[in-house]
Chains A and B, each alone.
Chain A
Amino acid sequence: MLHTLAVLVENSPGVLTRVAGLFSRRGFNIDSLAVGRTEDPEVSRMTIVVDGDDRVLEQVTKQLHKLVDVIKINDITDDEYVDRELVLIKVNADHTQRVEVIQICDVFRARIVDMGRKTLTLECTGNHGKINALEETLRPYGIKELVRTGKIAMVRGTKNTGYQDNGAKEESL
């Protein structure tokens, strides 16, 4: 089963290697991983989609927690959340096909961001399923190039999966 983890990490060099290395070393399967800075420049947020049963997920979470650079982990799979992927697709579209492709584009609320003599380049955001559907629909025309970001996600409503630094967590010896 696919799980979506929202992982807050220190924005320090090597943190991506640490996380990716942990997954490969322990044989966990990453379906996708997206990473970028948050509202706090010292904190990055990773959205990791990982495949595994509950036992695997427990180990993934515990092993991630052992990394000193990992601040907080939320498995948001069972929460209500908004998730998005972004895709750029360069698809064959000569003058005989152009109208059809533009119509598909409208249906999926994708945007045309570039136009060549024989191709169109589309941008589309949406959840995993929608992006898959768009890709499948365009495949018969001949996809020249395609790039997808991993999934990013955020829990709906007031529930917070961010990190509040209340300053009270200092530990001294």
Chain B
Amino acid sequence: MEITAAQALVQCLEKEQVELIFGYPGATIAPVYDALHDSTIKHVLARHEQGAVHAADGYARVTGKVGVVMATSGPGATNLVTGIANAYMDSVPLVIITGQVSTGMVGTDAFQEVDTTGITMPITKHNYLVKDAAQLPRMLRNAFYIASTGRPGPVLIDLPKDIAETKIKFQYSETVYLRGYKPTFRGHPNQIAEAAKLIAQSERPVIYAGGGINSSRSSAELRALAETINAPVTNTLQGLSSFPGDHPLFLGMLGLHGTRAANLAVTNCDLLIALGARFDDRVTGKISGFAPQAGVIHVDVDPAEIGKNLPVHIPIVGDVKQVLQELLPRLEIRTDSRWLEQVDVWRKEYPLHYEVEGNLKPQYVVEKLDEITGGKAVVATDVGQHQMWVAQYYRFRRAGGLITSGGLGAMGFGLPAAMGAQIGLPGEQVILVVGDGGFQMTMQELGTIVEHQLPLKIIILNNSVLGMVRQLQKVYYNSRYMAVEFQFLPDFAMLAQAYGIKDYIMRTKEEVDTLLPQALAEPGTVLVNCLVSAEEWVNPMVPAGKAISEAIDC
């Protein structure tokens, strides 16, 4: 029996065990929406395509499944661009299906036509423009395979309307044949043996663990490694929540706003074990000052990351979980504590600090959140100062508990990503910490959140300024503040009321102490407006062009 390509697409999604699609309809994608009418797959109607794609991102991160996004051609597709780039930078598996004008119209500047595959080429792992309806099931299978294997990432399928309406004989094949795509999963045994040897010889090892630990779900292996060789662990921003925040071996985040203990440990180590991390410029600072005395073992599933920014002594290409599982039996338990004692000296000498007294401090709110939740909530953030304070002061004790835009640093990510995470984890506590700037970028998704009765807790650290840019202007532009202060902010309480959301306002430490536990215990959606001091700075901070050992307080 023949069915339309749009119907075939929906059947393929069912076969991929897709339960949920985030999307926004339009004319060219209408045939697919029509086919969805007869499917068990649920559709979450966002309020903006950017909301849909960030939500799918948050959903994919917490569930480990591929997030599926659907949008129409033209503006539908262009509104997805930030979200696709974000997923690409943070290696999140997404399959994005966009409508396209009919093949006869392609290239004529038709209504709602843009070159979607052209625009998204540099921000997708791969993309397809469907020209032959019969190829669609194979392309979709490939898309899911490519998105979810190797280094995960977004894959886009651009589907012209007439192709979607073409009748085809539906054939579905589980096997994937891509001669140009063969990710390496198992690390080379000789390299793993070499790594074990180097670890045994080292005196001052540091484990530098990134987002790869979270995406390969290998927190247990990471912990086993650290405890076996008695090495301190530092996380990248994206790696946070892969190692218990209260563990005695944990140093906190490294890099630009990392702890001094982490940065000094990396600077002085003789062996750096990089796991699923990519030596990003925000991590390394001046590259010549990054781990200058260290031998480097680098485990990554993407061979192109190895040696990209820093020479590596023992490269291991493979899935970090599998590599760690093969490495662990080769290691001997180490108990030597001299290096850890040195690290402890730094930790005690340079703790993270802020002045608790005075106006309500944003750091205090984050510390309180940590205390109330025991570090076990899933915390999503937006981008900016509050994001760094969450990274510094929330001690993650739930593997994969942080949802944040790391590589792209996209403001507006927080609210929709938290929404997607809460949809993916309906029974769990999901908290969004967001600035007043980023919140206003995508606050239209409150509608979606209410529609789906999500018990999300939204904590706005409201200082009525764009704090991170303001900090940059303070340090690098002699405090000549320009375009960083909002002269108008909406009444967030009335906004919450407009959406029928319970709201809280907290102005003092005492109000936080009494009201925050109450707000988090509410059964439904809650919006908490914390009026915090604007004169707080993210410290320590490595000035531009300096080594990470040269952090300052500003």
Among B117, B145, B174, B181, max chain A CB count under 10 A is at B181
Task: Check A68–B176 contact: CB distance below 8 A.
Answer: no
Query: B307 touching A172 by the CB < 8 A rule?
Result: no
| B121 touches which of A18, A55, A63, A169 (Cβ 8 Å) | A18
Please choose the segment from B90-98, B123-131, B221-229, B344-352 that sits at the chain A interface, where 4 or more of its residues have CB less than 8 A away. Answer: B123-131
Interface string of A41-72 (1 = CB under 8 A from B): 00000000000000100110011011111110
CB-based nearest B residue for A59: B308
- Asked if residues A68 and B129 are in contact (CB atoms below 8 Å), the reply is no
Indicate if the CB atoms of A68 and B308 lie closer than 8 Å.
no
Minimum CB–CB distance from A44 to chain B (whole Å) comes to: 12
Chain B residues whose C-beta falls within 8 Å of the C-beta of A165 in the assembled complex: 179
Say yes or no: A68 contacts B303, CB within 8 Å: no
Given that A62-B304, A66-B304 are known contacts, is A171 also in contact with B177, CB under 8 Å in the complex?
yes
Complex CA–CA separation, A21 to B182 (angstroms): 22
* Contact B179–A172 (Cβ < 8 Å): no
A42 CB → nearest B CB, Å = 10
Chain B residue nearest to A70 (CB atoms) is B180
Enumerate chain B residues within 8 angstroms of A21, measured Cβ to Cβ: 121-122
How many residues on the A side are at the interface (Cβ–Cβ under 8 A)? Answer: 28
B180 close to A25 (CB less than 8 A): no
A70 to B176, alpha carbons, bound, how many Å?
A: 16
Q: How far is the CA of A10 from the CA of B181 in the complex (A)?
A: 11
Please, how many angstroms separate the alpha-carbon atoms of A59 and B306 in the complex? 9
Chain B residues within an 8 Å CB radius of A14: 117, 121, 129
Check A17 against B118 for contact (C-beta < 8 Å): yes
Partner pick for B179 among A22, A59, A62, A169, CB 8 A cutoff: A169
Instruction: Find out whether the CB atom of B304 lies under 8 angstroms from the CB atom of A68.
Output: no
Give the B interface residue count (CB, 8 A): 24
Residues of A within 8 A of B304 (CB): 59, 62-63, 65-66
Q: SS class of chain B's interface: helix, strand, loop or mixed?
A: loop
Cβ proximity bits A68-95 to B, threshold 8 Å, 1 near / 0 not: 1111000000000000000000000000
A70–B125 Cα distance when bound, in Å, is 13
A27 at the interface (CB under 8 A from B): no
A171–B146 Cα gap in the complex (Å)? Answer: 12
A71, B177: Cα distance in complex, Å = 12
> Is B498 an interface residue when CB atoms closer than 8 A count as contact?
no
The answer to whether B125 touches A68 (Cβ under 8 A) is: yes
* Selected contact of A62 from candidates B126, B131, B174, B303, CB within 8 Å: B303
Residues from chain A with a CB closer than 8 A to the CB of B181 are 68
CB distance from A47 to the nearest CB of B (A): 18
Q: Which of A13, A69, A169 contacts B131 (CB 8 A)?
A: A13
A7-28 to B contact mask, C-beta < 8 Å, 1/0 = 0011001100110011001000
Whether a CB of chain B sits under 8 angstroms from the CB of A107 is no
A170 contacts the other chain (CB 8 A): yes
Please tell me if B1 contacts chain A, counting CB pairs below 8 Å.
Answer: no
Contact of B175 among A55, A66, A71, A172 (CB under 8 A): A172
Whether A172 lies near B121 (C-beta < 8 A) is: no
Of residues 85 to 133 in B, which have CB atoms within 8 Å of A's CB atoms?
117-118, 121-122, 125-126, 129, 131
By a CB distance below 8 angstroms, the chain A residues around B179 are 10, 71, 163, 165, 169
Q: Which residues of chain B (440-466) have a CB below 8 Å from chain A?
A: none
- In the complex, which residues 121-173 of chain A have their Cβ closer than 8 Å to any Cβ of chain B? 163, 165, 169-173
Query: Within 8 Å CB of B146, what residues of A?
Result: 68
- Cβ contact within 8 Å between A173 and B118: no
B residues engaging A (CB < 8 A)? 117-118, 121-122, 125-126, 129, 131, 145-146, 174-182, 302-304, 307-308
Question: What are the 8 closest A-B residue pairs judged by CB atoms, nearest first?
Answer: A62-B304, A172-B175, A68-B126, A71-B180, A68-B181, A70-B180, A71-B179, A68-B180
Please, could you name 16 A-B residue pairs with CB atoms under 8 Å apart, sorted by A? A10-B180, A13-B129, A18-B121, A25-B122, A59-B308, A62-B304, A67-B180, A68-B126, A69-B126, A69-B180, A71-B180, A163-B179, A169-B179, A172-B175, A173-B174, A173-B175
